[in-house]
């Protein structure tokens, strides 16, 4: 009798945890869709994807913004290549080097060159790549603006093609690694490639360009006035501009992304975590009404991972199976609660912890009951139905009830009808 009670409660609890599984199915389907779309895009090369057009470009005026941190070895090489381009095309060009006080001899080196078209800005506060780029954009005086890295990963020789694409009607043009004709330095390890692909896929809801992660891009000065609430967080300033300026006509020019030869990369694991934070802000900006539902689903999916990890741990610790399963469920419910409180419903963070926890467990249980009832009802009504299909509908129903109870009751805002705000 006692044993059956435990079995029953484990069954009920696992129903609760299974609800977010629907997200996995949706995410997998979306990824497949995105990948197929990318394949089709690759199959049909766009006009700008052709290698360098031999037609001469008209002279244009351009500000080139180069964020730097400890790039004293690369900068002379970059400046030499920019100088060659400048004189060959008779460009009206200024280069803004936005240096975060590297103290590696950058200032002395730039001063000794005394190039009238190069301006060094040494920044000592609000450091970071994106703030440096934004400061540079504000100081720029020319019609066209280009951002690029100092380490010669981005070939300056592609700038004329990028400007030409702007002149032909694009609003924003990316020097892209992922269009036909593009290539990357050979010793790009598998993990860097995978990392970059996953990050790109995660930006899909905001833009359909192939390389939104690129730090090499160009646009007209006038686009900046359209920027709403620029929030320079992390490395992906190009993505931020694409979204916040409401770009609809983006173009991509293929580049050879060269391996850095001097100095070292500053892209750290911490920056990658900030990317998730950045995506969350973009989500709140672009899809304010969907943001809490999506975050709720992502938290739910994370719960599945937590559940499996905890179960693995408990089993390894030789905890008896039933207790291990039950404890893993409790751990994943607690992590779901904490994450939902911190992110999905962050506007209700100041509410009573224990009242919310009790409410959350209640909401999950109600969701599980709805899941169960809906699944059983469907099976009774259409006995020929695959049980998995009935269960999927049950999961959707249960998750929806769970979400609504959380959103409007458990994590209700303290003051009357405060909409979910970024936090």
- The residue ranges that bind ligand GDD (CB under 6 A) are 67-69, 71, 98-100, 127-129, 132, 149-151, 153, 196, 213, 215, 235-236, 260, 265-267
Question: Where does residue 73 rank: exposed (0-12), middle (13-18), buried (19+ CB within 10 A)?
Answer: middle
Q: Which does 211 bind (CB under 5 to 8 A by kind): ligand GDD, Mn ion, none?
A: none
Is residue 71 part of the contact set for Mn ion (CB under 5 A)? no
Q: Are 96 and 66 in contact (CB under 8 A)?
A: yes
Applying CB under 5 A, which part among 34-42, 172-180, 252-260, 276-284 lies near Mn ion?
A: 252-260
Q: Given the complex with ligand GDD, which of 69 and 360 has the nearer CB atom?
A: 69
Q: Which does 212 bind (CB under 5 to 8 A by kind): Mn ion, ligand GDD, none?
A: none
Residue nearest to ligand GDD (CB): 215
Shortest Å distance, C-beta 245 to ligand GDD: 17
Distance between CA atoms of residues 21 and 232, nearest Å = 34
Q: Are strands 256-257 and 118-122 parallel, antiparallel or unpaired?
A: unpaired
Q: Given the complex with ligand GDD, which of 236 and 341 has the nearer CB atom?
A: 236
Shortest Å distance, C-beta 148 to ligand GDD: 8
What is the enclosing helix (H) or strand (E) of 252?
strand 250-254
Q: Are strands 183-184 and 256-257 parallel, antiparallel or unpaired?
A: parallel
Shortest Å distance, C-beta 314 to ligand GDD: 38
Torsional class of 407: left (φ above 0), alpha (ψ -120 to 50), beta (otherwise) = alpha
Residues 148-207 that bind Mn ion (CB under 5 A): 151, 153
Number of residues that bind Mn ion (CB under 5 A): 3
Shortest Å distance, C-beta 115 to ligand GDD: 18
Under DSSP, the state recorded for 406 is I
Shortest Å distance, C-beta 149 to Mn ion: 5
Q: Which does 235 bind (CB under 5 to 8 A by kind): ligand GDD, Mn ion, none?
A: ligand GDD
Shortest Å distance, C-beta 146 to ligand GDD: 13
Shortest Å distance, C-beta 323 to Mn ion: 50
Beta bridge partners of 93: 62
Q: Given the complex with ligand GDD, which of 26 and 265 has the nearer CB atom?
A: 265
Report residue 192 as tokens.
């860097």
Is residue 214 part of the contact set for Mn ion (CB under 5 A)? no
Shortest Å distance, C-beta 215 to Mn ion: 8
Q: Which does 332 bind (CB under 5 to 8 A by kind): Mn ion, ligand GDD, none?
A: none
Q: Given the complex with Mn ion, which of 68 and 153 has the nearer CB atom?
A: 153
Residues 256-285 that bind Mn ion (CB under 5 A): 260
Cβ neighbours of residue 267 closer than 8 Å, sequence gap 6 or more: 235
Q: How are the residues of the chain apportioned to helix, strand and coil, as percentages rounded to the nearest 5? A: 55, 10, 30
Distance between CA atoms of residues 127 and 215, nearest Å = 17
Q: Given the complex with ligand GDD, which of 215 and 303 has the nearer CB atom?
A: 215
Q: Are 247 and 172 in contact (CB under 8 A)?
A: yes
Q: Please give the C-alpha separations between residue 131 and each of 119, 122, 259, in angstroms, as whole numbers.
A: 17, 13, 25
Q: Are 166 and 82 in contact (CB under 8 A)?
A: no
Strands (E), 69-151: 92-99, 118-122, 144-147
Q: Catalog residues that contact Mn ion under the rule CB under 5 A.
A: 151, 153, 260
């Amino acid at each position: 009798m006692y044993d059956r009670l435990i079995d029953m409660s484990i069954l009920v609890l696992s129903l609760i945890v299974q609800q977010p599984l629907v997200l996995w199915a949706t995410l997998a389907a979306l990824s497949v869709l995105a990948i197929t779309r990318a394949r089709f895009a690759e199959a049909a090369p766009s006009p700008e994807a052709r290698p360098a057009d031999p037609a001469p470009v008209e002279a244009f005026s351009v500000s080139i913004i180069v964020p730097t941190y400890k790039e004293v070895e690369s900068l002379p090489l970059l400046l030499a290549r920019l100088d060659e381009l400048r004189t060959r095309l008779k460009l009206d060009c200024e280069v803004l080097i936005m240096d975060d006080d590297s103290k590696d001899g950058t200032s002395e080196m730039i001063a000794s060159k005394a190039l009238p078209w190069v301006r060094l800005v040494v920044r000592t506060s609000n450091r970071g790549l994106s703030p440096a780029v934004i400061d540079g954009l504000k100081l720029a005086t020319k019609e066209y603006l280009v951002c690029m890295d100092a380490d010669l990963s981005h070939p300056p020789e592609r700038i004329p093609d990028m400007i030409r694409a702007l002149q032909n009607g694009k609003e924003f043009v990316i020097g892209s690694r992922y269009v036909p004709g593009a290539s990357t330095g050979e010793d790009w390890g598998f993990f860097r490639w995978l990392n970059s692909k996953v990050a790109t896929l995660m930006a899909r809801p905001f833009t359909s360009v192939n390389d939104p992660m690129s730090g090499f891009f160009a646009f007209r000065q006038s686009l900046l006035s359209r920027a709403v609430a620029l929030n320079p967080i992390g490395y992906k300033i190009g993505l931020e501009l694409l979204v916040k300026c409401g770009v609809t006509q983006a173009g991509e020019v293929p580049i050879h992304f060269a391996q850095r030869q001097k100095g070292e990369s500053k892209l750290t694991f911490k920056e990658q975590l900030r990317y998730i934070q950045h995506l969350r802000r973009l989500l709140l900006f672009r899809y304010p009404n969907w943001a809490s539902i999506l975050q709720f689903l992502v938290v739910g999916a994370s719960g599945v991972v937590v559940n499996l990890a905890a179960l693995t741990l408990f089993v390894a610790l030789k905890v008896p199976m039933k207790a291990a399963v039950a404890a893993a469920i409790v751990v994943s419910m607690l992590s779901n609660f904490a994450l939902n409180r911190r992110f999905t419903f962050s506007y209700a963070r100041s509410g009573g912890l224990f009242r919310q926890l009790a409410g959350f467990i209640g909401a999950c249980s109600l969701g599980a009951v709805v899941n169960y009832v809906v699944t059983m009802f469907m099976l009774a009504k259409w006995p020929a139905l695959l049980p998995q299909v009935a269960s999927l509908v049950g999961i959707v129903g249960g998750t929806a009830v769970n979400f609504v109870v959380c959103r409007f009751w458990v994590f209700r805002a303290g003051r009357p009808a405060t909409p979910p705000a970024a936090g």
